[in-house]
Amino acid sequence: MVFNPVTSEARKLGEFGFAGDDHVVPFDVEPLDVRGRAVQLGPMLDQILARHTYPEPVARLLAEVIVLTVLLGSSLKFEGKFIVQTRSDGPVDMLVADFATPSSVRAYARFDEDRLAQAVEAGKDSPEELLGAGVLALTVDQGSDMQRYQGIVQLDGTNLEDVAKTYFRQSEQIPTEVRLGVAKMVLPGADGGQEHWRAGGVLLQFLPASHERMRGADLHGGDGDENHDGSTHPEDDAWQEARMLLSTAEMTELVDPTVGSERLLYRLFHEHGVRVYEGTNVLDDCSCSRDKIKAVLDGFTPEELAESTDEGSIRVTCEFCSTEYVFDPADFS
C-alpha cells in the first residue's frame, strides 16, 4: 500500500496518480527513519543534451550531474539556487548544473575534443578517467543579500555517487546514499524509434529522532555497523537495511518510464510502508535574458566594447542554452 498524505487515504499502487517524467517525488519510510527524493528525467534532459550535441561520454557525465543537482536542489525551502560544478584536469574539465527554485534547471559541459577522442580510443573513457583529478563544488546561493554556502569535495577517481556521499558526511553530517542512472533508450512514438536520453536517481538520508543513532560508522566513512569508539548500536540496523534495499535498485529501473518513481519506491520499501508526497516539476529553463547580458556589457570600457565588436555587431551566446544575443555597439556609447 502507498499512503497519499494529501488526501489522507490509503490507495493501492495501481490507483495512485503517478508523477511521471521530470517530476521530483519526496518520500519517507518511517519504520526505517529515512526520507529522500526520487526522480526520472526524460524530455527536460533530452532538450538540454540535444541542444549542444555533446559526444556520448560527455552527455552521460553531464546527465549524472543534472540528476544529482535536481535531487539536491529540489530540497531548498527558500528562493535561491543550488549549483553543482566540477573543475578537473581530465578531458572533461568542467561540468556545471544549477537548480533555481522552484523548478528551473540548466547545465553545460566543457571538454577538450582532441583529449576526449584520445581517451576514448585508448579505452580510458570511464567517468572517473574523463574527469581526472580535481574538485566538485556544491554551492547554495540565497541571493545577493545572503552569504553563499559552498562545500568542496575532492575528485579522486571515485564516481559521482560516492562523491555526493562524501559531501554529506563531511559537510552535512547526515548519513546519505545516492543512486544515479543514465541511459539512451528508443521509446515508442511518432519519431520513428529515435533514441532519447533518460536519467533517474534516488537520494536516501537517515534522519532518526534521536541524534545518538547517527553516530554510526557511515558518518566517518565506514561501511559496517561498528562505531568509531568500537561499540555497536542495534538501532543503526534500520539504516543498514535501508541502504541494502536501495542497493538492489537496478540502473534500468532508475530510468525505465514504465516503472516510474513511485513504483520503484514501492518495489524497494513496500514491506515497511513507503509514503510519497506531492513533489515539483523540473523544467529546462535558462535564466539568461537580453537585459542581463546588456547590463554586463554596460560595464565594459570603450576599448573592451571595441574588442568585442565583430562586423559591426556584438554577439554573445549563452553557454547554457546556446541563445545568441546581438547588440549594436552604438547602444553603449
pTM (predicted TM-score):
0.86
145-182 confidence digits (pLDDT tens): 777 888 899 998 888 898 888 888 887 788 999 999 99
4-63 confidence digits (pLDDT tens): 333 333 344 444 557 789 999 999 999 999 999 999 999 999 999 999 889 999 999 999
Q: Which residues pair with 199 in a beta bridge?
A: 41, 182
280-300 confidence digits (pLDDT tens): 899 999 999 999 999 999 999
185-190: long-range contacts, CB 8 A cutoff, minimum separation 24: 185/255, 187/257
Q: Which residues contact 163 (CB under 8 A, 6 or more apart)?
A: 136, 153, 155
Pair type for strands 94-100 and 104-110: antiparallel
d(CA 216, CA 222): 8
- Backbone φ and ψ for 309, nearest 5 degrees, come out as -90, 130
48-88 confidence digits (pLDDT tens): 999 988 999 999 999 999 999 999 999 888 888 999 999 99
Q: Which residues pair with 136 in a beta bridge?
A: 86, 153
